[in-house]
């Protein structure tokens, strides 16, 4: 089943130096852009992360320091990546919990004011987990009847993810072929920041979802414990989370 699109959607996958959203860097990014008329555009970039790639990570995706030594940094690539995805919804495999938060960090470090206020995201892994509970390679075998060659290659993983979503729509008639609906289906919780440190409660107000203030209103914490804001800004939290907190703090100051 082909996708019903009102705007382009970019399937993407990252290979990285590790799994820490705040500290790790992209070493490869692949984007497959699908247009409403069915046209497809794809691009893969190798990236010099400017930090060492651990040997155990290289063993997974095969990308070494030597392989990317002469490749552009993400700072150099950010405008090209952003131009490709800026008018699109996003989709990936485990993208809501990892790829989008890490991509946002890299964009902000490169000076690109990345957000998704006008777009939605569809996490194909969540559809798979809600329906079958497997991995990407197993998902590709299950839905497409083929073996995923070159797993942990960003391009192979991205193409497989696109094919899996189409097959999922064929298999599950209760899944609506609409990106906004799929985004709502694949959203695990309503987060304000990409990494999920700040969530929305049932009343639509921002709350902390971690630590000693878990469940507390962000507005209340920032007013009653002003030092907590400074601690968060100086601690090892994602840049986008800090950006969201700053916006909440400024909003509160402007309403006084």
Give tens-digit pLDDT for 121-132: 999 999 988 887
Beta pairing class for 198-200 and 121-123 = unpaired
- Is the confidence at residue 12, as pLDDT, over 90? yes
- Is the confidence at residue 147, as pLDDT, over 60? yes
Total structural domains within the chain: 2
- Is the confidence at residue 64, as pLDDT, over 60? yes
Identify the pLDDT of residue 202: 86
Rounded percentage of the chain residues whose pLDDT exceeds 70: 97
| Bigger pLDDT: 109 vs 254 | 109
Q: What is the mean pLDDT of residues 149-178?
A: 94
Q: Residue 196: which region, alpha, beta or left (left: phi > 0; alpha: psi -120 to 50)?
A: left
CB contact at 8 A, 175 and 126: no
CA separation for the pair 85, 83 (Å, rounded):
6
Predicted structure pTM score: 0.71
Residue 68 covered by a domain: yes
Identify the pLDDT of residue 133: 57
The answer to whether residues 29 and 116 belong to one domain is yes
Identify the pLDDT of residue 191: 83
Cα torsion through 156, 142, 56, 43, rounded to 10: 20
Identify the pLDDT of residue 131: 85
The answer to whether residues 83 and 210 belong to one domain is no
Domain, as residue range, for 239 = 198-254
The answer to whether residues 129 and 232 belong to one domain is no
Q: What is the mean pLDDT of residues 39-62?
A: 96
């Amino acid at each position: 089943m082909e996708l019903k699109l009102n705007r382009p959607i970019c399937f993407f996958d990252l290979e990285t130096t590790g799994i820490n959203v705040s500290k790790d860097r992209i070493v490869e990014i692949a984007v497959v852009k699908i247009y409403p008329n069915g046209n497809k555009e794809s691009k893969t970039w190798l990236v010099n992360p400017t930090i060492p790639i651990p040997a155990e990570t290289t063993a997974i995706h095969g990308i070494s320091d030597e392989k990317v030594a002469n490749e552009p940094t993400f700072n150099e690539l950010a405008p090209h990546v952003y131009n490709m995805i800026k008018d699109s919804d996003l989709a990936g495999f485990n993208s809501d919990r990892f790829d989008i938060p890490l991509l946002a960090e890299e964009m902000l470090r490169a000076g690109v004011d990345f957000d998704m206020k006008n777009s939605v995201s569809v996490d194909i892994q969540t559809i798979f987990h809600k329906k079958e509970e497997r991995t990407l390679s197993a998902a590709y075998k299950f839905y497409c009847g083929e073996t995923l060659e070159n797993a942990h290659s960003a391009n192979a993983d991205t193409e497989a993810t696109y094919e899996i979503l189409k097959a999922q729509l064929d298999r599950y008639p209760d899944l609506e072929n609409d990106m906004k609906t799929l985004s709502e289906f694949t959203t695990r919780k309503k987060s304000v920041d990409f990494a999920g440190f700040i969530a929305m409660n049932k009343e639509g107000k921002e709350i902390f979802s971690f630590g000693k203030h878990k469940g507390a209103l962000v507005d209340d914490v920032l007013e009653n414990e002003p030092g907590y804001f400074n601690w968060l800004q100086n601690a090892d939290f994602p840049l986008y989370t800090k950006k969201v907190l700053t916006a909440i703090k400024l909003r509160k100051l402007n309403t006084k």
